């Protein structure tokens, strides 16, 4: 890695110290508590969870740049109108997130393919200090997590397509992580996670690959080595 030069180093991820993350986690938690409260008024029962790197002290950032945290907002119960119209569901989530995040000094969220992103800017208003991603999820009959995906310009669907996208091998990731820790191999998960993140960046220039998906991949890779 040392032979990449200064330019190369600016494109490599490193772990963020746990103490740096604490204040941001509190802001995110308070924001999402407000979102869940507003959703409840619409008869939508949801719960949020800090996931992936943030939940396992594996937050990364590019040099001294901004970093982010990833949250799942799981829909447990909702009126049929939201299940039948996934665009309406995501728009509702975004509206409430923007209202709650604005009260915490975040800017309006960005609507990407797989999540909503709330941004916290420095005083310059142009540089991002921190951001957090909110993926809207539910569980299917197999217990696997499914993420709400917005495919723009999907062929055969006109301008937009909103679908639930299953995350394979996600139903028992907590059980696998526990076994890895018991085997004293958690450091391997941390290394695997950073290696995967840099692999996606260096090979495919993919800066947007969800950290939660990378975390599941890292856990499964190490768990399979135990078998």
In CATH, what number is assigned to the domain containing residue 94?
A: 3.30.460.90
Long-range contact pairs involving 174-178 (C-beta distance under 8 Å, separation at least 24): 176/219, 176/220, 176/223, 177/56, 177/219
Q: Is 197 inside any structural domain?
A: no
Q: Is residue 176 part of a domain?
A: no
Query: Of the candidates 86, 73, 26, which has an alpha carbon nearest to the alpha carbon of residue 45?
Result: 73
Chain segment 135-158, per-residue pLDDT in tens: 999 998 888 889 998 887 655 555
Q: Which residues of 172-189 are buried (b: 16+ CB within 10 A; e: fewer)?
A: ebeebbeebeeeeebebb
The domain total for the chain is: 1
- Residues 115/122, Cβ–Cβ less than 8 Å: no
- What is the value of pTM for the model shown? 0.74
Q: Which domain holds residue 96?
A: 2-168
* Position 204 in a domain: no
Specify if 125 maps to a domain: yes
Q: Is residue 9 part of a domain?
A: yes
Chain segment 52-89, per-residue pLDDT in tens: 656 666 677 776 677 788 899 999 999 999 999 999 99
Per-residue pLDDT for the chain (227 aa), expressed as one digit of tens each?
A: 344 444 444 457 777 777 778 888 888 899 999 999 999 999 999 999 887 656 666 677 776 677 788 899 999 999 999 999 999 999 999 999 998 987 767 777 888 888 898 888 766 566 777 888 899 999 988 888 899 988 876 555 556 789 998 887 677 888 898 999 999 998 898 888 888 878 876 665 555 667 778 888 899 999 999 87
Determine, yes or no, domain membership for 195: no
- The CA angle 138-140-142, to the nearest 5 degrees, is 135
DSSP, collapsed to helix, strand or coil, labels residue 48 as: strand
Q: Is residue 224 assigned to a domain?
A: no
**Residues sharing a CB contact under 8 Å with residue 109, sequence separation 6 or more, in sequence order:** 94, 97, 98, 101, 116, 117, 118, 119, 134
Q: Is there a domain that residue 220 lies in?
A: no
For the chain, report the end-to-end CA distance as a whole number of angstroms. Answer: 31
Report the pLDDT value the prediction gives residue 26, as an integer from 0 to 100.
87
């Amino acid at each position: 890695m040392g032979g990449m030069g200064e330019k190369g180093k600016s494109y490599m991820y490193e772990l963020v110290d746990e103490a740096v993350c604490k204040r941001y986690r509190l802001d995110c938690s308070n924001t999402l508590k407000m979102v869940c409260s507003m959703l409840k008024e619409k008869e939508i029962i949801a719960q949020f969870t800090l996931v992936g790197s943030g939940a396992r002290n594996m937050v990364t950032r590019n040099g001294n740049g901004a970093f982010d945290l990833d949250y799942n907002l799981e829909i447990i119960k909702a009126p049929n109108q939201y299940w039948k119209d996934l665009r309406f569901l995501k728009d509702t989530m975004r509206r409430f997130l923007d209202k709650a995040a604005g009260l915490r000094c975040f800017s309006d969220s960005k609507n990407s393919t797989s999540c909503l992103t709330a941004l916290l800017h420095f005083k310059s208003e142009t540089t991002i200090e921190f951001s957090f991603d909110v993926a809207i999820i539910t569980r299917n009959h197999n217990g696997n997590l499914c993420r709400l995906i917005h495919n723009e310009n999907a062929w055969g669907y006109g301008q937009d397509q909103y679908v639930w996208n299953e995350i394979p091998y996600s139903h028992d990731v907590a059980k696998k992580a526990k076994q890895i820790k018991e085997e004293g191999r958690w450091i391997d998960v941390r290394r695997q996670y950073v290696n995967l993140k840099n692999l996606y960046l260096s090979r495919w220039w993919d800066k947007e690959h969800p950290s939660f998906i990378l975390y599941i991949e890292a856990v499964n890779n190490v768990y399979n080595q135990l078998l």
